[in-house]
Amino acid sequence: MSYISVRPFLADGGRHNDSCKISTQESLKCPFCFKEIETQILDGILWTKVNSLQLFMKCKSCNNSFIGYANYNQGDQIYKISSLSRGNRNKRIFEKEIEELSANFVKIYGEAEIAENENLIEICGGGYRKALEFLVKDYLIKKFPPKQEEIKKKFLGNCIDEMIDNPKIKEIAKRATWLGNDESHYFRVWGDKDLTDLKKLIEITVHFITMEIQSENYMQNMN
């Protein structure tokens, strides 16, 4: 067992008489740069009643500081850091073609991401599913402006089946919708697939749509 010792402040004043041992074996990611960090602790406060520590910590990589929350483990008589205070949000930045195509997709995807970062796993899937719907529908509205009203009202699955002619976008978006529906409904059809698969399929859909827009732009500019 590897650990470091800290003589913390006491929550109700003064320094603690003894040192506390803190485990360095937890794999922790810096909440600012998201790199794996060594446990570097500058100081701490001990809450004796609940036997927990709040540790002032610093990332060696980006130099930001944050709080580590540690609880006492009776078995090996060591404090283990179980969570860190919040830093930056880990936000997906989309290509400008996607930002221009569907600002709503980018906004809803960002909200789903916040839910996921907050560990609200049961609701973020539904958010990603909604984001996908805006992406696909805005893509179709761009292609068929006169059909805007029809596209808005149509089920997403029918939009994909009937209106997407690019076979790759069609097949991937269809699968993303299947998994997205699993995230929103009581019964799971695709039990072996999860949120990671849904996000990957959305990524691939984004990729193909970006590629299509970029190649069309070049064909128009270099006619």
Site membership for Zn ion, residue 32 (CB under 5 A): yes
Q: CB of residue 23 vs Zn ion: minimum separation in angstroms?
A: 20
Q: Of 11, 33, 204, 211, which one interacts with Zn ion (CB under 5 A)?
A: 33
Site membership for Zn ion, residue 40 (CB under 5 A): no
Site membership for Zn ion, residue 57 (CB under 5 A): no
Q: Which is nearer to Zn ion, 37 or 169 (CB)?
A: 37
SS (H, E, C) the chain: CCEEEECCEECCCCECCCCEEEECCCCEECCCCCCEECCCEEEEEEECCCCEEEEEEECCCCCCEEEEEEEEECCCCEEEEEEECCCCCCCCCCCHHHHHHCHHHHHHHHHHHHHHHCCCHHHHHHHHHHHHHHHHHHHHHHHCHHHHHHHHHCCHHHHHHHHCCCHHHHHHHHHHHHHHHHHHCCCCCCCCCCHHHHHHHHHHHHHHHHHHHHHHHHHHHCC
Site membership for Zn ion, residue 61 (CB under 5 A): yes
Question: Which range, of 8-16, 53-61, 163-171, 185-193, touches Zn ion by CB under 5 A?
Answer: 53-61
Q: Of 30, 81, 106, 112, which one interacts with Zn ion (CB under 5 A)?
A: 30
Q: Which is nearer to Zn ion, 81 or 198 (CB)?
A: 81
Contact residues toward Zn ion (CB under 5 A) are 30, 32-33, 59, 61-62
